[in-house]
Every structure is written in C-alpha cells, then in structure tokens.
Amino acid sequence: MKVAVVIPARYASTRLPGKPLLKIGNKTLIQMVYERAATARCAETVLVATDDERVAKAVRSFGGRAHMTRSDHASGTDRVAEVVREVLGEVDVVVNVQGDEPDIRGEHVDTVAGLLEEDPDASMSTLACVMTDEKAMHDPNQVKVVCDAKGRALYFSRSPIPFVRDETSRDRSFLGHLGIYGYRREFLLQFSEMPQTDLERKERLEQLRALENGFIIRVGVTPHAVFGIDTPEDLERFRSSQKGEP
C-alpha cells in the first residue's frame, strides 16, 4: 500500500491561538508532530494541511512539506480530504495525525495503516488504549470505544461505556480512543461528502457518521497513549515532561 500522513493544522485555535507555532524546547509543536510522524516505516509522504501561511512557512523552514487549504472547513477531516483530492491521487491509505499531539509515534501510524491491510472490509482504522482511571472514564473529553470480537468498533461515546452494572466486577478498565485515523483514499473522499448523522451531532464525534452509514472501523489497541495539547495547562505540562529531551 502507498501510505500518506496528513497533519491538519489550524492557526486560529480558540483556547490556544497560534497553537501549531508554540514552542516546546527549540521546536514548534507542528515540527515535533511532523518529525515524529515521519518516523513511521510505512509513510511515503508526510504533509501538513493548513489554512495559514505562517504555519506553512514554518513547516517549510524545517524541510517539511505543506499545502494550503481553504479556511472554511468544518473539521480537520475535511481539510485532509481537500489535500488528498488535490495532490495525493496515487495513495491507497491516508493517515490523519492530529497536529496537537506531539506524543505521536511512528508505530502508531504503522499500526493504523496496517489494520487496513489486515482487514480488507474495513474502510477506516483508529487506535485505543486500555485505561483504568475512573476520572477519565467519566470525562466527556476522553472518548471511549467498544469493539466486537474482531476488533471492529461498535460505538464511540463521551459517556462511560461499557456500563459496568455489577459493582463487584474486578474489571474496571475501558478503551480510551486516540484521535488518529486511517482511511482508504476513496472512502475518505466519500466520507467528507456525507451529511452529518444524528448520533454524530449528539455526541459531536464524526467517526459515528461512518458507523451510522454501515462502514467498518477497525480498532487497534496500543500500550502508548497520546498526549493532546488543548489548553495552556496541557502545554506547560508537556513542556515540563520534555525537559532534558533533545
């Protein structure tokens, strides 16, 4: 398979304006994400999709590849689809890596792409991590996923799923969803044209659009969670964790 990694990066973040260009040590956030995603063995192309020339200029300054997109996209997925439609005609699989997750590893990208090779009926793939923190279980910002016996997603939710009815159960773990996606190219273009669905609007989770339309999402379980940066507190916590790193 020919695999491309596309990193959507929007400058105008509400909680962290200019987020892609914020510094962590001597690198910008977008450079850190780009370089880590580029360590994936499967990636033939790594590209940043942005609507801001400042971000594109920063990416090119460290030798990365950037493509300008429209500024009116409703989601990062739509931004990725525009890039795929315009400049990535030869790829088979597109991996969407969030531009604010500097904990991303090359192995995450390889796993997501490999799931689509392993499961020819799946149109999408993503990752989850086993978690046991009760606070995270009830945190609506931590999306949960439940799967069938084949590792295919049954449902994603901001609510605690599965509900553990037996309070004496020793298994209090759940699968926390990680925001990295793999798409077959043609499905991504089709997906970006589909209207929003009822469950998607209620949960505000666009992957539910795929499930509601009968498409298969394959889920891989990784031991390595991904740290996303959404707030100033997240940024400072990650900066502190990187002290002493090159």
**pLDDT tens-place string over residues 92-118:** 999 999 998 999 999 999 999 999 999
Q: What is the 3-state secondary structure (H, E, C) of 111-156?
A: HHHHHHHHCCCCCEEEEEEEECCHHHHCCCCCCEEEECCCCEEEEE
Percentage above 70 pLDDT, the chain: 96
**Does pLDDT of 12 surpass 70?**
yes
Instruction: Name the DSSP class of 195.
Output: P
Quick one: pLDDT at residue 169? 61
Contact between 65 and 30 under an 8 Å Cβ cutoff? The reply is no
Instruction: Look at residue 189 in the predicted model and tell me its pLDDT.
Output: 96
80: number of Cβ within 10 Å: 28
pTM comes to 0.92
Domain ranges of the chain: 3-241
Q: Assign 174 to helix, strand or coil.
A: strand
Specify the fold of 3-241: Spore Coat Polysaccharide Biosynthesis Protein SpsA; Chain A (3.90.550)
pLDDT digits (tens, 9 = 90+) for 13-30: 777 788 999 998 899 999
User: Residues 128-149: pLDDT tens digits?
Assistant: 999 988 898 999 989 999 999 9
Nearest-5° Cα angle at 18, 75 to 5: 50
115 burial type by CB count under 10 A (0-12 exposed, 13-18 middle, 19+ buried): buried
- Cα–Cα distance, 111 to 223 (Å, whole number): 12
